[in-house]
Amino acid sequence: MCIRDSYSFFTKLIKLHRLPPGENAARFLGVNPYFLNDYNLAKRNYNAGSLARIIGHLRKADTMSKGVNNPSTNSAEILKELTFKILHDPK
């Protein structure tokens, strides 16, 4: 999964937290209804504050992977650090 896919997933989680009552979640998110269970599970694990921090981590990793303020860290290390930050974000 690339950073762009992760960004899309987590922004959809933010939208899911703001789902208007009575709204069709799959249509609101623009996803196949088959995947709603994945999104609902992730919603229980990440609150809105965590999601905002995660989006920040994703943006930073994206710029680092493009060499901005990062002359030497390779992409594997950037991904490793990003994964750690996402999994260990305080809930």
Of the candidates 55, 50, 16, the residue with the CA atom closest to the CA atom of residue 36: 16
Q: Write down the pTM of the prediction.
A: 0.83
What tens digit of pLDDT does each residue of 35-84 get? Answer: 999 999 999 999 999 999 999 999 999 998 888 887 788 888 999 999 99
46 SS3 class:
coil
Residue ranges covered by each domain of the chain? 3-87
Q: Does residue 86 come out as left (phi exceeding 0), alpha (psi in the -120 to 50 range) or beta?
A: alpha
Contact 62, 82 (CB under 8 A): no
Contact 50, 90 (CB under 8 A): yes
69 SS3 class:
coil
